[in-house]
Amino acid sequence: MTKIIGSAVRSRYGNKTTWRAERWLVLVPKLRCQGKDIHQLVIEVTTYLVAEAVARTGDDSRLATLVSPVGKPEILDLPMFFSIRFLKMIWGASPC
């Protein structure tokens, strides 16, 4: 992760830039339905690196926010039957 941040800061502000950053990994889910042979709920989770970096270039200091996906998304396919049963188990007989 440090290489990703350092590379982004140096490409924007120059090779002699020094930097310091706070960083977080943020998981962003994306839901969709597929209806091939069996109707499925597809949950795709992408991990993003979010960094707030302070870049120092000689006599100047800049604050930059960097966001970049890390790795490839994780995908979970759930048949709708299991999704509906799970919701009924959580909410009781009537989910509304």
Cα–Cα dist 71/49, whole Å: 10
Domain that holds residue 21: 2-91
Q: Which residues contact 55 (CB under 8 A, 6 or more apart)?
A: 9, 12, 13, 17, 18, 19, 61, 62, 63, 64
Predicted local distance difference test score (pLDDT) of residue 95: 45
Is 82 among the domain residues?
A: yes
Q: How many folded domains does the chain comprise?
A: 1
In a domain, 79, yes or no: yes
Burial (CB count <10 Å: 0-12, 13-18, 19+), residue 66: middle
Query: pTM for the full model?
Result: 0.69
Q: Tens digits of per-residue pLDDT, 14-51?
A: 888 888 989 999 999 999 988 878 888 899 999 999 99
The mean predicted confidence, pLDDT, of the chain is 86
Measuring CA to CA, which residue among 40, 12, 44, 45 is closest to residue 27?
A: 45
**Residue 87: per-residue pLDDT:** 77
Strand partners, 74: 45
Higher pLDDT, 10 or 29: 29
Tokens of 56: 């120092």
| Residue 41 counted as domain residue | yes
Residue 8: the pLDDT is 85
Q: Are the C-beta atoms of 44 and 73 separated by less than 8 Å?
A: yes
Task: Indicate whether 28 belongs to any domain.
Answer: yes
Residue 87 domain-assigned (yes or no): yes
DSSP state of 94: -
User: In this structure, is residue 96 part of a structural domain?
Assistant: no
